[in-house]
Amino acid sequence: MPCNICLLLSLLLFHLLWQAIGATSSPSPTSNGRLRPCEGNAFRLRGGESSTAPSEQEDESLDELVEELIASNRKLVVVTGGVLSGIGKGVTASSIGVLFRAMGYRVTALKIDPYLNVDAGTMSPFEHGEVFVLDDGGETDLDLGNYERFLSVCLTKQSNLSTGKIYQSVIEKERVGKYLGKTVQVVPHVSDAIQEWVLQVAKTPVTHFSTQHTEEYHYHGKQPEICIVELGGTLGDIESMPFVEALRQLQEKVGYKNMCFVHVSLVPVLGSPISEQKTKPTQHSVKVMMQLGLRPDFLCCRGKEPLEPSVKRKLSLFTSVPDQAIISLHDVSNIYRVPLMMMEQNLPSMLAQRLRLPKYRKKGVAYDQVPDTCQLAKRSSIIREWTVLADSVDAPENDCTIAMVGKYCDQGDAYLSVIKALTHAAIATKQKLHIEFIDSSDLEPTADDGGVSSSSKDRLLRCDGLVVPGGFGSRGFEGKIEAIRTARTRQIPFLGICLGMQAAVVEFARNIAGIANAHSAEFVDTENASSHEDLIMFMPEGDRTRMGGTMRLGARETILRRDSLAYQLYGQKEKIMERHRHRYEVNPDWVNTLEPLGLHFVGKNTDASGERMEVVELDREVHPYFVGAQFHPEFTSRPEKPNPLFLGLLQQIKKQKQDAQNK
Residues carrying an active site annotation: 498, 632, 634
Burial of 177 (0-12, 13-18, 19+ CB in 10 A): exposed
559: helix, coil or strand?
A: strand
Shortest Å, Cβ 471 to ligand GLN: 5
Burial 609-630 (b: 16+ CB within 10 A, else e): bebbbbbbbbeeeebbbbbbbb
Question: Strands 465-468 and 613-618, how do they pair?
Answer: unpaired
- Comparison of 131 and 340: residue with beta carbon closer to ligand GLN: 131
Which among 152, 161, 211 is positioned nearest to 339, based on CA atoms? 152
Which among 330, 326, 375, 323 is positioned nearest to 349, based on CA atoms? 375
In the DSSP assignment, the letter for residue 476 is: T
Q: From the CB of residue 550, how many other CB atoms can be counted at a distance below 10 Å? A: 14
- Comparison of 377 and 499: residue with beta carbon closer to ligand GLN: 499
Q: From the CB of residue 220, how many other CB atoms can be counted at a distance below 10 Å? A: 11
DSSP element (H, E) containing 298: strand 298-303
Shortest Å, Cβ 501 to ligand GLN: 8
- Comparison of 345 and 636: residue with beta carbon closer to ligand GLN: 636
Burial of 248 (0-12, 13-18, 19+ CB in 10 A): middle
Shortest Å, Cβ 614 to ligand GLN: 13
Shortest Å, Cβ 65 to ligand GLN: 37
Shortest Å, Cβ 519 to ligand GLN: 13
- Comparison of 542 and 598: residue with beta carbon closer to ligand GLN: 542
Shortest Å, Cβ 488 to ligand GLN: 19
CA distance 646 to 426: 9
Which spans in 541-611 are helix H? 565-569, 591-594
What is the residue type of 230? E
Shortest Å, Cβ 169 to ligand GLN: 28
199: helix, coil or strand?
A: helix
CA distance 41 to 498: 19
Which among 53, 76, 126, 209 is positioned nearest to 643, based on CA atoms? 209
Shortest Å, Cβ 493 to ligand GLN: 20
- Comparison of 199 and 505: residue with beta carbon closer to ligand GLN: 505
Q: Which residues are 578's β-sheet partners?
A: 556
- Comparison of 197 and 646: residue with beta carbon closer to ligand GLN: 646
CA distance 417 to 148: 11
Q: Which residues are 207's β-sheet partners?
A: 154
Name the residue with the smallest CB distance to ligand GLN: 470
Q: Which residues touch 549 (CB under 8 Å, ≥6 apart)?
A: 119, 121, 137, 139
- Comparison of 297 and 634: residue with beta carbon closer to ligand GLN: 634
What is the residue type of 499? L
What is the residue type of 651? Q
Interface contacts to ligand GLN, rule CB under 6 A = 470-472, 498-499, 522, 581-584
What is the residue type of 170? V
Shortest Å, Cβ 584 to ligand GLN: 3
- Comparison of 367 and 631: residue with beta carbon closer to ligand GLN: 631
Q: Which residues touch 584 (CB under 8 Å, ≥6 apart)?
A: 502, 520, 521, 522, 536, 537, 538, 539
CA distance 418 to 403: 12
Burial of 329 (0-12, 13-18, 19+ CB in 10 A): buried
